[in-house]
Amino acid sequence: MRKRWFLFQKYFILGIMFLWIYSCNYFSSSKGPDEGSIVFDITYLDDERENPLISLLPTQMTLKFKNNNTISFIEGFFGVFKLSYITNNEMGKNFTLLRLMDKKYIYESDTTGPLFGYEKMKNIEVRKSTKKKIIAGYECFEGEMKCPQISDSVIKFYYTYGIDIENPNVCNPFKKIDGVLLEFQVNLNNINMRFVAKNVKIEEVSESEFEIPKGYKTITIQEMQKIMESFNQSTKD
């Protein structure tokens, strides 16, 4: 009887240890939320005296994600201006939506090419580091980028595996990075910008967020560029 009780205790303890190890592995392998939103603070790195437009530009960007689809947008000029990027991985499509007062434009491309505005960020060298830091409550890994369009020096950026978005950088210059960016710099439409996440919300996101609104005129990337250049020039005059 005593032997039987000893064996029972032995296997019971082994069973508990197995469950504990399994549960730890389960939680540590979790990829994190796959639906929610991220709010970024935007800092402009160029001199306002050389580009007065900077003082009027938005200071926040919002990114929403669900089912590996994303939409990011910035708004400014008291709602007169809104630029949105929608990536639909199921369709393999990107959509750039631009609203200027009552004018609405859309440019469509596939996910193998860069989003509108990033075309000039070429010949970028990216490498990973083992350094880490916490941003918006998420553990982030450090990376380094060399981009002649932004700076001659090495630029640091940070990304996390704690948010579950498949191929999160497929359409931006960081496509070699498989984590979600929470701090980074880009040259967007010839303006150097830094984005730093300040808040990540795990919340329900409506499927309608990733649908293309009605009333947008389809244009080419060249037409989109001319409209943006014209708008930028008008704000300087």
pLDDT of residue 64: 97
**Single pTM value for the model:** 0.80
How many angstroms separate the CA atoms of 173 and 170, rounded? 8
Copy the structure tokens of residue 64.
Answer: 């929403």
pLDDT of residue 37: 97
Per-residue pLDDT of the chain (237 residues; tens, 9 = 90+): 544 444 434 333 333 332 322 333 333 334 688 999 999 999 998 887 777 777 778 899 999 999 999 999 998 766 778 999 999 888 889 999 999 888 999 999 888 766 787 766 777 888 998 899 999 999 999 999 987 777 777 889 999 999 999 889 888 888 889 999 999 998 877 788 899 999 999 999 999 999 988 999 999 989 998 988 887 766 665
CATH number listed for the domain at residues 35-236: 2.50.20
What sign does the CA torsion over 159, 65, 137, 29 have?
Answer: negative
pLDDT of residue 55: 75
